[in-house]
Amino acid sequence: MSGIRIDDVSMIYTLPDGGSVKALDRVALDIPEGQMVAILGPSGCGKTTLLNIVAGFLKPTAGAVVAGGRTVTGPDADRGMVFQQGALFEWMSVAENVGFGPRMAGRPRREIAALVADLLGRVGLAGFADTPVYRLSGGMQQRVALARCLANDPGVILMDEPLGALDALTREKMQGLVLRLWKETGKTIVLITHSVEEALFLGERLIVMAPRPGRVVRDMALPFAEMALVEQARSVKASAEFVRVREEVLSMIWSMEEEIMGGAHDGA
């Protein structure tokens, strides 16, 4: 059982000057096992803070996270993380990176080799096992990051803007891969992005957050990830419904940004 319950989580950071930032204000979310949730919101609305709390890297000021039926008190192998970039071991080969977790867990060499070969095939990197990671493009490195995460077979995968550093075309391709891996593995996935299109395309469910204090302002079901399993990605993104929801969410975020900018001007 790998559902996640976020129970009225608040987070206040204390600053060196004695001030404080309310990064999250009573965030409550129930994420059932196997769901793909996209979390969208302007910069500074607490997305990374929330993900780090779910991962167990940060302890909330108030509230709690329950994952797989247990209260989160620290990181756990059942919750894997995929970062935007730079979290790979650059001096190791692709295969060494992907096999890292199982190696640390003391699994037999043969078993690791078979697992790594299977995963590299699934992320489109068959033939790159011995390539050092620093020689790969950004998109290929993110494929390695996905495979490395899957190698630990976590119930939950947390992704913080995993495609954020990629060029537009690579990003589209990688969205297709993330979607396929979600469908094949049935993992619970929480994906953070500030791309409206990406959130709509990949999420079965969309959570929109607003800043100051960071909070959930919208929670809606989305049909597009399901559609994209049987239809071309481009045609899903060009459909009237996709365009309508995209405009609605964009204007919601625009008005938030305007409020923030307005607030900054008032203060100046």
> Which residues of the chain form contacts with ligand ADP (CB under 6 A)?
13, 15, 21, 23, 41, 43-49, 214
Secondary-structure breakdown of the chain: helix, strand, coil percentages, each rounded to the nearest 5: 45, 25, 35
Residues 162 and 88 sit within 8 Å (Cβ to Cβ):
no
Of 46 and 99, CB closest to Mg ion = 46
Angle between the N-to-C axes of helices 138-151 and 168-185, in degrees from 0 to 180, rounded to the nearest 10: 10
The interface with Mg ion within residues 35-64 (CB under 5 A) comprises: 47-48
CB of 143 to Mg ion, least distance (A): 22
Of 38 and 227, CB closest to ligand ADP = 38
CB of 72 to ligand ADP, least distance (A): 17
Q: Which tokens sit at 69?
A: 């039926």
Query: Is 141 one of the binding residues for Mg ion (CB under 5 A)?
Result: no
Residue 23 touches which of ligand ADP, Mg ion, none (Cβ within 5-8 Å per kind): ligand ADP
Of 2 and 193, CB closest to ligand ADP = 193
In this structure, what are the phi and psi dihedrals at residue 71, rounded to the nearest 5 degrees?
-65, 130
CB of 157 to ligand ADP, least distance (A): 18
Of 44 and 56, CB closest to ligand ADP = 44
Task: Report how far residue 3's alpha carbon sits from residue 39's, in angstroms, rounded to the nearest whole number.
Answer: 16
Residues 189 and 181 sit within 8 Å (Cβ to Cβ):
no
CB of 201 to ligand ADP, least distance (A): 20
Judging by beta carbons within 10 Å of its beta carbon (0-12, 13-18, 19+), is residue 137 exposed, middle or buried? exposed
CB of 48 to Mg ion, least distance (A): 3
Instruction: Name the residue number minimizing CB distance to Mg ion.
Output: 48
Residue 44 touches which of ligand ADP, Mg ion, none (Cβ within 5-8 Å per kind): ligand ADP
Task: Report how far residue 57's alpha carbon sits from residue 76's, in angstroms, rounded to the nearest whole number.
Answer: 10
Judging by beta carbons within 10 Å of its beta carbon (0-12, 13-18, 19+), is residue 183 exposed, middle or buried? middle
Residue 49 touches which of Mg ion, ligand ADP, none (Cβ within 5-8 Å per kind): ligand ADP
CB of 79 to ligand ADP, least distance (A): 17
Q: Interface with Mg ion by CB under 5 A: which residues?
A: 47-48
